[in-house]
Amino acid sequence: MPSIHSLEQLHFDNRFIQQLPADKETENYRRQVYKACYSLVSPTLVKAPQLVAYSQEVAEQLGLSSEVCESDDFQQVFVGNRLAKGMQPYAMCYGGHQFGQWAGQLGDGRAINLGEVLGQHGQRLALQLKGAGATPYSRGADGLAVLRSSVREFLCSEAMHHLGVPTTRALSLVLTGEQVLRDMFYDGNPQLEPGAVVCRVAPSFVRFGSFQIFSSRQDLATLKTLVDFTIRNDFPHLGEPSIEVYGQWFEDVCRKTAEMVAHWQRVGFVHGVMNTDNMSILGLTIDYGPYGWLENYDPDWTPNTTDANGRRYRFGNQPQIAYWNLVQLANAIYPLIEQVEPLQQALQVYSKQFEQAWQTNMANKLGLLSFNPQTDDSLVADLLSLLKAAETDMTLFYRGLADLDLNDAEASFQTLLHASSYAPLNDEVKKMAESWLSDYLQRLKVDARPNQQRRAAMNAVNPKFVLRNYLAQQAIDKAEQGDFSGVGELLEVLRRPYDEQQGKQQFAEKRPDWAKQRAGCSMLSCSS
Ligand code: AMP
Ligand code: MG
């Protein structure tokens, strides 16, 4: 039951700023910040805040009633116009590797933390406004965010949560009533777009790059302070920090990261910008920029046009990139441990954990009781070749596979492929399909699992509804015209992605032809 009827009743306990070193400078101008984890900074006031949407579940976690969420005060506070009691706004200092290159200091260039709330069940939740104005870390940019990218972040964080993927959450999406200049295509044609602020929520917003920045500057004292703080607050089960515990902590991070990426591969999510500043120390999906969802199964696909040449962050590369990022984190904390073995062992744990999670996920997706490498390695590999060759919609295919009619398997499988593929099925594909189906049927016999049971198990891991790229864009198009119903409708459907949801079929359809080449649908730049 919501127990908070005014934002003044939120209970803040801002450990991050109480226990970690602050930037001594409190003027808000762009600079390099040394020996500090954060800078105090106030959000920029805006003209006319207007609530677009809020997440009921996140509000509940905070104990907020719907009256509070629909009040004028709520939109004022979560756009950054007013601080509620206990809020102490600050921007975090971090660095990162961007597209494989060390980029130096980055930091919260357009994120401003409001503090840490103790939630309904005693859990600690940091609140962070994204797009609330410039900070010392804004470099050459304005600290703002536009509506289209804010809708995408808001909807996708909630969708991911409901899919069972570890992620930062989103409490609210508020228009600022001001215009923001953006060159969406980086082609010298900037346009004014509506500005917006999302309030993100997570136990911690610390990133790999939060540690990297200190070791890159040989500031081992602050590095140690932040590591110890993180272990005590977010990994308390490891006990008091020590050299041994540092190794165990890194292993935990490896494990959590493996679990997260395995989930991405399960649901067909492409993050798009897996820079080390976008890697959460808690293994949460963070920073929803030019992300996308696989439509036609293609491991080489990335929605990020900024990465179109190297395709570093393409779908099939995500597991290796997470590993590469973990290696960078290992390098950053090495000075505290001064031993290579525990770090290397932990990295092996990543690989093992990812492989196991991947195998379990694939077995589940196919309705198998467990993954048997002897038969299932090739079963999965052949399937992925087929899906790629037939340009099959990943979500539609797996969901539909649960309904395979075993009494008339061949025809039923053909129908499924037809319904879910974007390319005509040529003879070669038909052959691949026949051969895979016969292996699959054989494999199902080994498990001898009752049909009903298999179907229910598959439907619990193969979503019917994901945030299809073009659906997000349609909701954005409407919202830009002042009609927020599309955002609300999508949010509602995405709350129960594994349920059939009568009457919602239009959210579970193949990508229409017009969406294939339209900007925002399958091609996105970093401009946001
Ligand atoms: P991203 O690629 O969104 O993860 O951002 C990389 C870095 O650029 C982070 O330090 C962001 O805070 C910063 N950044 C991105 N967009 C802006 C913006 N509009 N204003 C200020 N900083 C930004
Ligand atoms: Mg980022």
Q: Which ligand is nearest to the CA of 525?
A: 1
Which residue's structure tokens are 């016999």? Answer: 445
Which ligand 1 atom is at minimum distance from the Cα of 107?
10
Catalytic annotation, residues: 277
Residue 322: predicted pLDDT: 99
Residue 149 confidence (pLDDT): 97
Output the pLDDT for position 87.
98
Which ligand gives the minimal distance to the CA of 291? 1
Look at ligand 1, atom 22, and give the residue with the nearest C-alpha.
109
What is the CA(56)–ligand 2 centre distance, in A?
Answer: 26
What is the total residue count of the chain?
A: 528
Question: Ligand 1 centroid to 527 CA: how many Å?
Answer: 9
Strand 191-202 vs strand 95-98: parallel, antiparallel, or unpaired?
unpaired
Residue nearest to atom 6 of ligand 1 (CA): 106
Q: What Cα–Cα distance (Å) separates residue 402 from each residue in 200, 314, 368, 398?
A: 35, 28, 11, 7
Task: Give residue 478's pLDDT.
Answer: 98
Ligand minimally distant from the alpha carbon of residue 307: 1
Radius of gyration of the chain (CA): 23
pLDDT for res 120: 83
Half-sphere exposure of 487 (CA within 13 A, CB side): 28
Pocket of ligand 1 (CB under 6 A): 106-110, 137-138, 141-144, 273, 277-278, 287, 289, 526
Instruction: Spell 145-171 as b/e; 16+ CB within 10 A means b.
Output: bbbbbbbbbbbbbbbbbbbebbbbbbb
Q: Which atom of ligand 1 is nearest to the CA of 277?
A: 4
Tens place of pLDDT for every residue, the chain, 528 residues?
A: 678 899 999 999 999 999 999 999 999 999 999 999 999 999 999 999 999 999 999 999 999 999 999 999 999 999 999 999 999 999 999 999 999 999 999 999 999 999 999 988 889 999 999 999 999 999 999 999 999 999 999 999 999 999 999 999 999 999 999 999 999 888 899 999 999 999 999 999 999 999 999 999 999 999 999 999 999 999 999 999 999 999 999 999 999 999 999 999 999 999 999 999 999 999 999 999 999 999 999 999 999 999 988 999 999 999 999 999 999 999 999 999 999 999 999 999 999 999 999 999 999 999 999 999 999 999 999 999 999 999 999 999 999 999 999 999 999 999 999 999 999 999 999 999 999 999 999 999 999 999 999 999 999 999 999 999 999 999 999 999 999 999 999 999 999 999 999 999 999 999 999 998 888 887 888 888
265 membership: H or E segment, kind and range: helix 243-267
Strand partners, 50: 175
Could you tell me the distance, in angstroms and rounded to a whole number, from the CA of residue 141 to the centre of ligand 1? 8
Query: Residue 381: exposed, middle, or buried by beta-carbon count in 10 A (0-12, 13-18, 19+)?
Result: exposed
CA of 166 to the centre of ligand 2 (A): 17
Cα 110 to ligand 1 centroid, rounded to whole Å: 6
**Model pTM above 0.75:** yes
Q: Which of 113, 137, 142, 198 to mutate to test the pocket of ligand 1 (most atoms within 8 A of CB)?
A: 137
Tell me what pLDDT residue 104 has.
98
How many CA atoms within 13 Å lie on the side-chain side of 460?
Answer: 10
What are the structure tokens assigned to 361, written together? 């996920």
CA of 259 to the centre of ligand 2 (A): 21
User: Which of 32, 101, 110 to mutate to test ligand 1, by most ligand atoms within 8 A of the CB atom?
Assistant: 110
From 44, 98, 138, 150, mutation site for ligand 1 pocket: most ligand atoms within 8 A of C-beta: 138
Ligand nearest to the CA of 273: 1
